[in-house]
């Protein structure tokens, strides 16, 4: 675990490097947080990972610069912030993060930030549930439930209004439009998943508990809340038996982790594999193709409808 002293040392080294650069020399490139010429004119808001970045950017509109801390294709659970990330966090007006243990590396960073940085926990006030296993903590994946995502939008909006009250009306209008889109997404899920031949699904890790509860489904994860965890042979046999018992013809995997376990189970039971994306980040190809939280969630819905035999 990284200590606050280590973090402070990295920040100091980064600041020293910036101050020692000859006048007029170019800045070093930043993979995850590229510099913007508008940074001095607008408050900087940093979001910890992709869905919160999209929500934050839509609420901000033109009135704040918004950056995504975790770079494309990286998994946010165990992200390793760079020295440049730490420097950017020091200069932010707003830091938006999920909480519920999803970003332990950021939990250690937040106490080191200056008082001028407002931290917004997007899960503040939400009723969270425990993970599938008794040994796991709270399930942080609330953004996959479009209803709970609206509560996250409210928390982010409150942070913007507190940090930049002069643009309150614009932030409120932008948040209202975003919530309209989330309501429409919820309606699509409700209509599509209302009449399905199956109500259970198997996926690689336990990211879809809130979504399953919202729409009356049963999630059967191969592993727990950590996507990189390796299932035991006993758990593999158990999941194979569940797939056969429930006559499941689709096994779901996700984009940022290896599909090998899902493929092994699918071969064993004669099923196919499809992506069920927890939207923890976008791949470079998805970003290049213009993917958003909403397009990924709509793809999730299509894949669920196929696997659950929805009419």
What's the CATH code of the domain at 200? 3.40.50.1980
Average pLDDT of the residues in 76-86: 91
Same domain, 68 and 152: yes
Same domain, 11 and 120: yes
Same domain, 177 and 103: yes
Same domain, 147 and 222: no
Q: What does the pLDDT read at residue 72?
A: 79
Same domain, 52 and 160: yes
What φ, ψ does residue 280 adopt, rounded to 5°? -80, -15
Total number of domains constituting the chain: 2
Which of the four pLDDT bands, split at 50, 70 and 90, describes residue 75? confident
Closest of 124, 119, 128 to residue 47, by C-alpha: 119
Give the pTM. Answer: 0.87
Q: Which long-range contacts (CB under 8 A, 24 or more apart) does 69-73 make?
A: 69/32, 69/33, 69/106, 70/32, 70/281, 71/31, 71/32, 72/281, 72/282, 72/283, 72/284, 72/286, 72/287, 73/256, 73/281, 73/282, 73/283, 73/284
- The per-residue pLDDT of the chain, averaged, comes to 88
Same domain, 161 and 12: yes
Same domain, 284 and 208: yes
C-alpha span between 264 and 253 (Å, rounded): 11
Residue 27 domain boundaries:
4-185
Average pLDDT of the residues in 227-235: 86
Q: What does the pLDDT read at residue 132?
A: 66
C-alpha span between 168 and 165 (Å, rounded): 5
End-of-domain residue from the set 120, 151, 185:
185
End-of-domain residue from the set 185, 210, 238:
185
Closest of 160, 142, 116 to residue 51, by C-alpha: 142
pLDDT at residue 21 greater than cutoff 70: no
Higher pLDDT, 146 or 284: 146
Same domain, 291 and 234: yes
186-221 pLDDT, tens per residue? Answer: 999 999 999 999 999 999 989 999 999 999 999 999
C-alpha span between 161 and 89 (Å, rounded): 19
Same domain, 202 and 161: no
Average pLDDT of the residues in 62-84: 91
Same domain, 66 and 177: yes
Which of the four pLDDT bands, split at 50, 70 and 90, describes residue 40? low
Higher pLDDT, 44 or 22: 44
């Amino acid at each position: 675990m990284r200590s606050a002293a280590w973090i402070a040392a990295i920040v100091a080294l980064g600041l020293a490097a910036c101050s020692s650069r000859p006048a007029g020399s170019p800045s070093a490139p930043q993979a995850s947080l590229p510099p913007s010429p508008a940074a001095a004119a607008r408050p900087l808001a940093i979001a910890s990972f992709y869905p919160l970045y999209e929500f934050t950017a839509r609420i901000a509109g033109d009135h704040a610069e918004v950056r995504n801390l975790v770079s494309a294709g990286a998994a946010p659970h165990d992200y390793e912030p760079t020295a440049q990330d730490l420097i950017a966090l020091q200069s932010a007006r707003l830091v938006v993060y999920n909480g519920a243990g999803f970003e332990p590396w950021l939990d250690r960073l937040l106490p080191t930030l200056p008082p001028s940085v407002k931290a917004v926990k997007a899960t503040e006030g939400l009723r969270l549930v425990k993970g599938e296993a008794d040994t796991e903590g709270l399930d942080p994946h609330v953004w996959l439930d479009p209803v709970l995502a609206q509560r996250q939008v409210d928390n982010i909006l409150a942070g913007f209004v507190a940090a930049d009250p002069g643009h309150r009306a614009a932030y409120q209008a932008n948040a209202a439009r975003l919530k309209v889109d989330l309501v429409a997404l919820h309606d699509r899920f409700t209509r599509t998943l209302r009449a399905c031949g199956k109500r259970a699904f198997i996926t690689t890790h336990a990211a879809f508990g809130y979504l399953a509860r919202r729409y009356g489904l049963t999630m059967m994860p191969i592993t727990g809340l950590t996507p990189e965890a390796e299932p035991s042979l006993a758990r593999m046999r158990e999941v194979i038996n569940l797939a056969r018992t429930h006559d499941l013809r689709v096994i779901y995997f996700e984009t940022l982790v290896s599909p090998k376990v899902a493929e092994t189970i699918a071969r064993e039971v004669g099923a196919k594999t499809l992506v069920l994306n927890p939207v923890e980040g976008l791949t470079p190809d998805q970003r290049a193709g213009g993917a958003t939280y909403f397009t990924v969630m709509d793809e999730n819905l299509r894949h669920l409808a196929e696997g659950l035999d929805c009419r």
